[in-house]
């Protein structure tokens, strides 16, 4: 598996008014649309914490793998979005912490040579 991209941003960055609880609920609704968790092999995975409001940091990673689902595939790809309170870790550790919560074969989408 290869990490092709990583981004981190402040979950509540740029917000000037309103409570953390209100904005957390709004973000959860927006993310549910952007990262459809009920669609198998969509290429997206959203990992939400089980708490009242989202942690301060939003992370996203794009991962590729040589694992294929069909004979004519070249590999598979997955974008994961998750939230953490502390980003003072090496990037591979941040990504590794969330990977155990995602079923690659259920969430990743395959790609073919023409998509490279």
With contact defined as beta carbons under 8 Å apart, do 81 and 42 qualify? no
Which pLDDT score, from 0 to 100, does residue 83 have?
93
The two structure tokens encoding residue 116: 């490279």
Taking 80 as the threshold, does the pLDDT of residue 112 lie above it?
no
Taking 80 as the threshold, does the pLDDT of residue 20 lie above it?
no
Range of lowest pLDDT (2-16, 29-43, 49-63): 29-43
pLDDT digits (tens, 9 = 90+) for 44-81: 888 988 888 889 899 999 999 888 887 888 889 999 99
Domain that holds residue 47: 2-115
Q: What is the pTM (predicted TM-score) of this model?
A: 0.83
User: pLDDT-based confidence at 33, cuts 50/70/90?
Assistant: confident
Taking 70 as the threshold, does the pLDDT of residue 115 lie above it?
no
CA distance 9 to 14: 11
Burial of 17 (0-12, 13-18, 19+ CB in 10 A): exposed
Count Cβ neighbours within 10 Å for each residue of 65-76 and write b for 16 or more, e otherwise.
Answer: eeeeeeeebebb
Q: Closest by alpha carbon to 8, among 80, 58, 48, 81?
A: 58
| Count of domains for the chain | 1
- What is the three-class DSSP state of 79? strand
Residue bearing tokens 């089980």: 50
With contact defined as beta carbons under 8 Å apart, do 104 and 78 qualify? yes
């Amino acid at each position: 598996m290869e990490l092709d991209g990583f981004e981190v941003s402040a979950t509540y960055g740029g917000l000037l008014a309103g409570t953390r609880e209100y904005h957390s609920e709004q973000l959860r609704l927006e993310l549910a649309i952007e990262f459809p968790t009920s669609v198998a092999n969509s290429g997206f995975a959203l990992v939400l914490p089980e708490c009242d409001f989202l942690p301060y940091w939003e992370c996203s990673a794009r991962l590729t793998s040589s694992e294929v689902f069909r004979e004519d595939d070249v590999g598979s790809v997955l974008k994961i979005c998750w939230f953490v309170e502390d980003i003072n870790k090496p990037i591979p550790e941040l990504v590794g912490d969330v990977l155990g919560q995602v079923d690659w074969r259920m969430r990743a989408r395959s790609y073919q040579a023409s998509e490279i």
